[in-house]
Amino acid sequence: MLQFIPDNRISAILRAMNVVLVVCAMGAIALFVLVIGWPLTSQEQWLVQMGTRIVLGLFVVQEIVRLIIHPNLREHLRKRRLETALAVVVLFESVFSHKFDNWLMHWIPDAKPGTLALFVLGFSQLTLIGLLGLRGLRRIPQIAARNLTPGGALLLSFAALIVAGTLLLKMPRATPAGISWADALFTATSSVCVTGMAVLDTAGDFTWHGQFVILGLVQVGGLGIMTLTYFFAHFLTGGVSFRNRIALQDLLSEESLDQIGTVLGIIVGFTFSFELAGVAAIYFSAEGMTAMPQDERLFFAVFHSVTSFCNAGFSTMPGGLADGALRGNTWFLVTVMLLVTAGGIGFPVVKNFWQVAVAVVRRRLGLRVAAPPRLTTNSRVVLVTSLCLTFGGAALVFLTEFAFNNGDSAGVPSWLAALFHSVTARSAGFNISDTRLWAPATVVIVMFLMFIGGSPASTAGGIKTSTLAVAVLALRRVLLGRPEIEAFGRRVSDDTANRALAVVLLAVAFFAVVLVTLSVMHPELSTAELAFEVIGATSTAGLSRGVAPLLGAGGKCVLVLAMFVGRIGVLMVLMSFMPRQPHKGYRFPEGGIVIT
């Protein structure tokens, strides 16, 4: 710190540096949108590159000024570690960019000069935008207000992301010939809500830039924008406030506030680890697709790994996963199924598995384990229910589609095709055969699987496996006359049963409202076909029988609302707007109601 600078002058300098940060953020956003949104000439690309260097240079200068005037170097580096790291990367790139370019050209002769510099600049630009966005988010009073519920924060986050995605998809570079606002909104909502339902051909109606935008929306929507925000806020910007930790605790269904950081690390680490493994597996499984260049094959692998894990259902192939180029590719289908299952199992189960695995390893190494964790009741319920739905659904689809009907198995064994559709129907929305040719019984089974969906706190939608399990256990209690709901030697509270009942009833009611609305708006379409489409939207499963593209702008907006509410959850949406009633200090006399 410069000792001769008075405190009031330091405050003025910091205010000026904050203004510079705002300018940097606005400049980075403008340049980023310009690059991904509009085609640029070589001269314009050079100007954008110079503008990016100026913005990053201003950012580095203000960070150096902050470092000089701060009284405690260690505290400054701790609070602004990401900003400092970004400044170091930018300086390093400025000084050694030519040497790295020569090194890259030596190992990759096909690489264009300046490729590494452009990559570093683009990465720095995105990091700067995300960093300043997080800083701004944490300072917005409305976000930290007491009257904003966790569900309301999640709702606003998804709505903001959908709006941003719609604007990005409307830009000239996202599509070859432009799209309507309704189609852009529908595609952005389907991406953010990881539905995968499409009114346009992802392969033909979107450019590589448009597909990249869809990929980014799917990734952020799959993890949940609030989860990503709190992850970076916790690990990169000095943690989150106690009030926000409570909000995140509710969103992640986590019992202990002390475990929030651990849960966030497990969520993001598990997600990216599985997606990277999926990229490698899909890349090598697509080796036989000789017509696809290596760079396109890499993007194909990344796109399908992310959309599979996030249970989104988008594909860059003209015919989706039913495309002829993928016909008979067993290894690819197995990889997709594993990614869908991993993404839909639920992060609380993943965390429980991680704790058990760590305890087992520590015990094998002879290390001390105070209280070895075991599989929780939630994990057991989720696993058993998921296995029953997966293999039970596969058996029923095999009977209805292949044993009693001449169904299309897409060049793989019929049992594998049945298993694939049973797995992906519960939220992923991938299909390897034409859904319009399925047997009526198969359609009903798939609709039931879509309605159930995946597990809580996962990338999947639907009413969730645990909700179905609790409802079945409550029915068993009634039929057997048991006093309490029991599962794996544990008692399930009445509050949990009431919540499960509310979720089921609200989901059915919301499905009925959307179906009736679309039936009124489009009386020319079959009610059965509309019902399949509505189930796919409200459960965010995304399977379609080709009805969505036939809807008008109003019908598409109805499905947009269905996907949005289905992703957040009908119960959470209602609870976000309905104030809690205070507990009464008395109880009414009990009245009898006849139930037959």
Helix segments in 38-114, DSSP class H? 42-69, 73-79, 81-107
452-474 b/e (C-beta count within 10 Å ≥ 16 → b): bbbbbbbbbbbbbbbbbbbbebb
DSSP state of 487: E
Residue with tokens 């104030």: 579
Higher pLDDT, 443 or 572: 443
Q: pLDDT tens across 336-393, in order?
A: 999 999 999 988 888 888 888 888 888 888 777 666 678 889 999 999 999 999 999 9
Residue 254: predicted pLDDT: 58
- Integer angstrom CA distances of residue 415 from 190, 362, 370, 410: 30, 40, 45, 11
3-state secondary structure (DSSP) of residue 491: strand
Query: 265: which 2 tokens?
Result: 């690390």
* pLDDT on residue 512: 96
pLDDT at residue 110 in the model:
47
Q: Strands 490-492, 485-487: parallel, antiparallel or unpaired by DSSP?
A: antiparallel
Choose among 227, 418, 242, 248: nearest CA to 337. Answer: 418
Q: Indicate the average pLDDT of the chain.
A: 82
- Per-residue buried b or exposed e for 311-345, using 16+ beta carbons within 10 Å of the residue's own CB: bbbbbbbeebbbeeebeebeebbbbbbbbbbbbbb
pLDDT top residue among 154 and 483? 483
Q: What's the pLDDT tens digit per position in 48-86?
A: 878 877 887 888 888 888 888 877 777 777 777 777 777
- Alpha-carbon distance of 188 to 165, in angstroms, equals 5
Question: What pLDDT is attached to residue 3?
Answer: 52
Instruction: Report the run of H or E that residue 485 belongs to, with start and end.
Output: strand 485-487
- Residue among 401, 414, 408, 406 nearest 441 (CA): 401
Rounded Cα distance between 37 and 1, Å, is: 43
What are the boundaries of each domain within the chain?
1-139, 347-577
Q: What are phi and psi of 198, to 5 degrees?
A: -130, 140
CB crowding 258-296: b at 16 or more within 10 Å, else e: eebbebbebbbebbeebbebbbebbbebbeeeeebeeee
Contact call for residues 310 and 343 (beta carbons, < 8 A): yes
pLDDT of 326 higher than 60: yes
pTM: 0.83
Contact between 297 and 285 (Cβ < 8 Å) = no
Per-residue DSSP letters for 94-160? HHHHHHHHHHHHHH-TTSPTTHHHHHHHHHHHHHHHHHHHHHHHHH-TTTT-TT--HHHHHHHHHHH
Dihedrals φ, ψ of 443, to 5°? -60, -45
